[in-house]
Amino acid sequence: MVKVVLLDRDGVINVDRHEYVKSPAELEIFSYAKEALDRLRGAAYLLYIVSNQSGVGRGLMTESDLDAVTNKLVPAVGPFDGIFYCPHKPDDGCDCRKPLPELLRRALADAKTRGPLSEVWMVGDSPSDIAAGAAAGCRTVLVTSGLNPDYDPAVFDVPPDYIAGDLTEAVRLILTAG
Ligand SMILES: [Zn+2]
């Protein structure tokens, strides 16, 4: 049986920015991220990043800028079993931008090639992460380490199953609730 944690990137693993993380220089990784992710790896969870990166579709950065950010992130926090980005703008009408669950489904389809799924989590810092996670059948954890640290239930169509201050607390919660 396969256990999976899907992770939003910005605001969860690294500091989010209003104007997108457009280059490696703008990538500020949370100091606790590697240790937190390693605890999940040690408990045999598969880890996937599922991240909206509309800065690409908006022309603020290129796919190769996005790759350069990824190439700084992975050596710093360790490997993922897969990384799925939606590069589209909100009005592109794509099927992969969160809150739609398609990006998460792609990650889960990859995980299923390893075996039947026994436990699936989505960790994110925004209502769209929680909505996408719920639609994809995940238990959801909202982390308040993003740009909007206060939890306002009014902006959530789907409430999170759990709320954590940061990734470290989210991991503790996942390992406890397992
Ligand atoms: Zn998309």
Is the pLDDT confidence value at 178 over 90? no
Residue 92: what residue type?
D
Which strand (E) or helix (H) includes residue 76? helix 63-77
Is the Cβ–Cβ distance between 128 and 52 less than 8 Å?
Answer: yes
Residues recorded for the chain: 178
Distance in Å, CA 101 to ligand 1 centroid: 11
pLDDT confidence of residue 56: 97
Closest to 105 (Cα-Cα) out of 89, 91, 86? 86
Domains of the chain: 2-177 (3.40.50.1000)
* AA letter at 8: D
Mean pLDDT of the chain: 97
140: which DSSP letter? E
How many A from CA of 35 to the centre of ligand 1?
A: 30
Ligand 1 centroid vs 68 CA: distance in angstroms?
A: 20
| 10, 16, 65, 125: the active-site residue | 10
Residues contacting 125, CB < 8 A, separation 6+: 8, 10, 11, 12, 16, 142, 143, 144, 145, 146, 147, 148
Q: Indicate if the pLDDT at residue 105 is higher than 90.
A: yes
| Residue located via tokens 């991240």 | 51
Instruction: Kindly tell me the sign of the dihedral angle through the C-alpha atoms of 145, 175, 70, 25.
Output: positive
Expressed in angstroms and rounded, the spacing between residue 87 Cα and the centre of ligand 1 is 6
8 is catalytic: yes
Ligand 1 centroid to residue 172 C-alpha, Å: 31
Active site residue 110: no
Angle at 129 between CA 162 and CA 83, to 5 degrees: 115
Residue 48 contacts residue 81 (beta carbons within 8 Å)? yes
What single DSSP character describes residue 25? G
Q: With 90 as the cut, is the pLDDT of residue 48 above it?
A: yes
pLDDT tens digits for range 142-171: 999 999 999 999 999 999 999 999 999 999
